[in-house]
A and B are shown apart, each in its own frame.
Chain A
Amino acid sequence: MTNHPDRVIADAVLAGERGAFEGLVASHQRLCWHIIYRMVRSPEDTRDLCQETFLRVFRSLHQFRGEQGLKSWIGRIAYTVALRHLESRRVPIVDSSSEADEESALAAYPSDFDLEKACADEELARYLHEEIERLPPLLRTLLTLYHLDDLPVPVIAEITGLPAGTIKSYLFRARLRLRHRLERHQR
């Protein structure tokens, strides 16, 4: 594992090489921003928590063993920092949706849907955007990591510490809920 690129980067930072830490921050700040901003939603809090995340990375990089990628390792720290922030404010990260809610969502059969027209509909895009924002923090974050950051489920599992099955279940429920709202909006 000594020649693994992540190990090389970590060793360079630990050796105090000029620009190494800056490079590490530049490579992973987007992921941290996405995780934290999707969880807490406030840009000011996100900036502070990103800074806290990278300071923790800086302090504990000697503990990085390279079993998982640096991306997952840093993402996990960012997720934990954001989670603690929400817990301190008593913000629930998931809501309690039951299987019955999903059954009712499935029961709404669509009549017709013109994708090209819908994509050109700015009002519809805005509505969908608002509905995404209304999702609980964890669901928003998982959707962003899966769709925007294009991370595979096992990597998201490493970041969040959740089982892969649970992540798939949350992704399923979140997208079904969005589709249900879309359907209701178009009626």
Chain B
Amino acid sequence: MTHRADPDLSERFEPEWQAQEEARVRERSVGTSEQDSIEVKQYRLIARELGKPLDIEVPQSLTRLICAAAETETRRQGRLLGLFDVYALAGLVFLSGVGLAWYSKPVTDALIEVERLSMALTSQPAVPWVLALMACLALVLVTTAMPRRWSALQQ
């Protein structure tokens, strides 16, 4: 590590930077200081002091404290997500009811149109497949996403 200190740092400081880096390397190699210059010897003392552990190191209980805090956070998030799902589902049911009440004729008309097109193009009815697809989607939602949310809610 004898790279130049900094392009912005004056070249006058270059020998001093080199002494600092040499001291760092020499201090690691645990070599004797007989051939070291006075600057390097002083920087070796500084490097030795800087390499010592801090006066207060990581407490033993820190990992446990952090993990407990993270677990609490996970539970809190789970509860919030669970509540969100309940509200979202309730909202969906409500909107579906309102929508069907207001737009039942256009929905029926759309399904009739789909059926008409399907019969014209393929001579096969399409509405049962559309309804089956919607039912599958609803089933997947209810059987996979909801139980996960509910179990988080129960924790």
- List the interface of chain A (C-beta within 8 A of B): 21-22, 25-26, 29-30, 33-34, 37-38, 43, 46-47, 50-51, 54-55, 58-59, 99, 102-103, 106, 110-116, 118-119, 124-125, 128-129, 132, 143-144, 146-148, 165-166, 168-169, 171-172, 175-176, 178-179, 182-183
Does more than half of chain A's interface fall in helix, strand or loop, or is it mixed?
Answer: helix
Docked-complex contact B8 and A129, CB < 8 angstroms: no
Docked-complex contact A182 and B58, CB < 8 angstroms: no
How many Å lie between the Cα of A116 and that of B44 in the bound state? 10
| Shortest beta-carbon distance from B16 to chain A in Å | 6
Instruction: Select B50's contact among A26, A59, A99, A143, beta carbons within 8 Å.
Output: A143
Size of interface on B: residues with Cβ below 8 Å to A: 44
CB contact under 8 A between A118 and B45, given known A21-B70, A144-B54: yes
CB contact under 8 A between A113 and B42, given known A99-B10, A147-B47, A169-B8: yes
By a CB distance below 8 angstroms, the chain A residues around B94 are none
The number of inter-chain residue pairs (CB within 8 angstroms) is 129
How many Å lie between the Cα of A146 and that of B43 in the bound state? 14
CB contact under 8 A between A183 and B42, given known A128-B49, A172-B16, A175-B20: yes
Excluding A148-B51, A172-B5, 10 further A-B contacts by CB distance (< 8 Å) are A29-B62, A30-B57, A51-B66, A113-B42, A115-B41, A118-B45, A147-B47, A165-B9, A168-B17, A172-B6
